[in-house]
Amino acid sequence: MTVTASMIINNLEALSNPEAALFAQRFFKTGPGEYAEGDLFRGIRVPVLRKMVPALDGTPLPEVIRLLESAFHEDRLLALLLLMRRFAKGNEALRQQIHEIYLAHTRFINNWDLVDISSQYLVGAFLHLRARSLLYQLAASQILWERRIAITATFHFIRKGEFDDTLALAELLLDDPQELLHKATGWMLREVGKRDLPTLESFLQLYYPRMPRVMLRYAIERFPEERRLLYLKGLV
């Protein structure tokens, strides 16, 4: 029997928890004027969604896309988990197809958790041995989530010991107006520093006076307290 998006959605509806959904809507800032205004939640925890993935592995891609286009956050998250599993197991042609599906549906990858769980796999891993100009196009987007995809996708490169694109994108995003980009960029810089502290320090020496406070705090979070305070006071 072919698994359809409607069947999956029926199962998700049965797992819904209205109380947890209300909490999630507050936590993910879905109110008027907030970054995820209007997003809808079912109140299903991520571990529950992850456990569903193996049994749904044979879901046809058009049905996964239908799930990705759902109004409900957890439906979209489950769709991304399914795409990630298919991508990891797929040949080059399938990986290309999934990567293109992802880019064509960024309007549905519209919260920080959806971006952060998927971008390093469905963008970063795909671009690892390819030209990376796409990241710079995304970093210049007017859409917050596409800019966050650009910087967090480089986590894949960081894990491989490659830092150049992270640092170049971090420089481009120094003046970004969105705190969610400051946090993501600081996080990626911190990950660089965990692997190569001198590289992070060299970047900071050039740019820390310009860095938004949140970005700097995230980047130096693991520094010894005395060193961290020197950066925060502008005394390095």
Tens of each residue's pLDDT in the chain, 236 residues: 799 999 999 999 999 999 999 999 999 999 999 999 999 999 999 999 999 999 999 999 999 999 999 999 999 999 999 999 999 999 999 999 999 999 999 999 999 999 999 999 999 999 999 999 999 999 999 999 999 999 999 999 999 999 999 999 999 999 999 999 999 999 999 999 999 999 999 999 999 999 999 999 999 999 999 999 999 999 99
CB 29 within 8 A of CB 113: no
- Range list of H helices, the chain: 5-14, 18-27, 46-52, 61-68, 73-89, 92-104, 112-119, 125-127, 133-139, 144-153, 155-159, 164-172, 179-195, 197-207, 213-219, 225-232
Write the DSSP symbol of residue 40: B
Within 13 Å of residue 198, how many CA atoms lie on the same side as its CB? 0
CB 56 within 8 A of CB 3: yes
Query: What residues form DSSP beta bridges with 72?
Result: 40
Question: Measured at the alpha carbon of residue 114, what is the angle toward residues 111 and 116, in degrees to the nearest 5?
Answer: 105
Tokens 């740019």 -> residue: 207
Indicate yes or no: pTM above 0.85: yes
CB atoms within 10 A of CB 9: 18
Token pair, residue 194, equals: 């965990």
